[in-house]
Amino acid sequence: MLPVVATAGPGDGLAGTKHDFSNLGGGSGVVRCAVCHTPHQAQTQQLLWNRAENGNTYSWSDPKTIGGTDYPTFTATYQGASAKCLSCHDGSVAVGDVGWWNGGPVISSGTKITGANQIATTTGDMTGNHPVAMPFPWNGVASSYNGSTTGAEALHSGWQGDPESLGIVLFTDDGAGNISKGATLGQTGIECTSCHDPHNGSEVQDVFLLRGLLGSNSADYLCAKCHAK
Ligand code: HEC
Ligand code: HEC
Ligand code: HEC
Ligand code: HEC
């Protein structure tokens, strides 16, 4: 079952968004958070992730961006949030297919995401989507992140020095595969959650759970929060 009509406004919190899964499990509300997180029996320690295993490998058809940065290849075990989003948004696993809640497995089959909200193909092809799980040249310095390093030409593009001050979330790869929130010189990257907040928290400014405006000439315009164009 997919969520009912989204009624929450930008920044109003999870309830009433398309990520409000309180109607899963017969409308009892029990899987509201547990469709993604569980306090026990989690699949991964990080984020206490509760999604059924997904065997996909995600990649882009192009080897590099126009700036010369390698597009990465990653699987469901990649720690960055993008792999978590794709555990539903590749349309390969049912939304209700969660691991553990209320003292038992809550595996239910049911609807998979299709149509506009399906971001990768069911076999993991990301072609046509903005880079994610990719380095960001924080403070104008090349970064290495998820096995990819900012290309020399990408440094010549116009960048905001500090997108975090504009409400964007950046991430650090410690070089050993551990991803955490916050920028570090030379080790910074972006994920789906750099642009979207899955919980519709107070930094969300527009529809689609966006951390910036969909259309504007102001500093709040989403694309301009990272690209200085
Ligand atoms: C649709 C999936 C989904 C649902 C539903 C969801 N979360 Fe999350 N949650 C995530 C993802 C993905 C992240 C990682 C966020 C990031 O990378 O910025 C996260 C991060 C978190 C974190 C780590 C700190 C932070 O805020 O980033 C906490 C705590 C958390 N969620 C609690 C909850 C609670 C409590 C609920 C229910 C009220 C909930 N989540 C519902 C997907 C979800
Ligand atoms: C538990 C499965 C699940 C996970 C995990 C998940 N989503 Fe979703 N998401 C959904 C469903 C279901 C919809 C509604 C699909 C539809 O209406 O066709 C949705 C809708 C959306 C929308 C559209 C919102 C709107 O108001 O139209 C965005 C944006 C989105 N998700 C982003 C993300 C991001 C980013 C992540 C990771 C941080 C994520 N999702 C993780 C299930 C999930
Ligand atoms: C660079 C910013 C950015 C990143 C990174 C990003 N998105 Fe989006 N996303 C947007 C914008 C802007 C929209 C609304 C415009 C549109 O429809 O394409 C959107 C729309 C969506 C929608 C609504 C359906 C649609 O296509 O319009 C979903 C679902 C979604 N994103 C999921 C994701 C997931 C999953 C990831 C990571 C794999 C991701 N996004 C990464 C900016 C981003
Ligand atoms: C969170 C920061 C961030 C935001 C917000 C953002 N971008 Fe990007 N964008 C990047 C990064 C990082 C790259 C990869 C640069 C590189 O290393 O080549 C990139 C690359 C691109 C590319 C080049 C892709 C290629 O393969 O050569 C385009 C075009 C682009 N972004 C457009 C957009 C648009 C349009 C928006 C608004 C919807 C947007 N970006 C929002 C960070 C961002």
> What does each of the 229 residues of the chain score in pLDDT, given as a tens digit?
444 456 899 999 999 999 998 877 666 676 789 999 999 999 889 999 998 777 899 999 999 999 999 999 999 999 999 999 999 999 999 998 888 888 888 777 678 999 999 999 999 999 999 999 999 999 999 999 999 999 999 999 999 999 999 999 999 999 999 999 999 999 999 999 999 999 999 999 999 999 999 999 999 999 999 999 8
| 66 lies in some domain | no
Answer whether residue 103 is part of any domain: no
Contact residues of ligand 4, CB 6 A cut-off: 65-67, 69, 130-131, 134, 136, 150-151, 154, 163, 168, 190, 194-195, 222-223, 225-227
Evaluate whether residue 147 is within a structural domain: yes
What pLDDT does residue 123 have?
A: 96
Is any atom of ligand 3 closer than 6 Å to the C-beta of 168?
A: no
Residue 200 in any domain: the answer is: yes
Q: What pLDDT does residue 109 have?
A: 64
Q: What own/partner pairs with CB < 8 Å and gap ≥ 24 does 12-18 have?
A: 12/200, 13/199, 13/200, 13/201, 14/199, 14/200, 17/200, 17/209, 18/117
The answer to whether the CB of 14 is under 6 A from ligand 1 is yes
Closest residue by CA, ligand 3 atom 39: 192
The pick from 12, 37, 88 for probing ligand 1's pocket by mutation, whose C-beta has the most ligand atoms within 8 angstroms, reads: 37
Per-residue confidence (pLDDT) for residue 143, from 0 to 100: 98
For ligand 3, whether the C-beta of 208 sits within 6 Å is yes
The reply to whether 113 falls in a domain is no
Our count of domains for the chain comes to: 1
Domain housing 187? 134-225
Pairing of strands 188-190, 134-135: antiparallel
Question: 91 C-alpha vs ligand 2 centroid, how far in Å?
Answer: 11
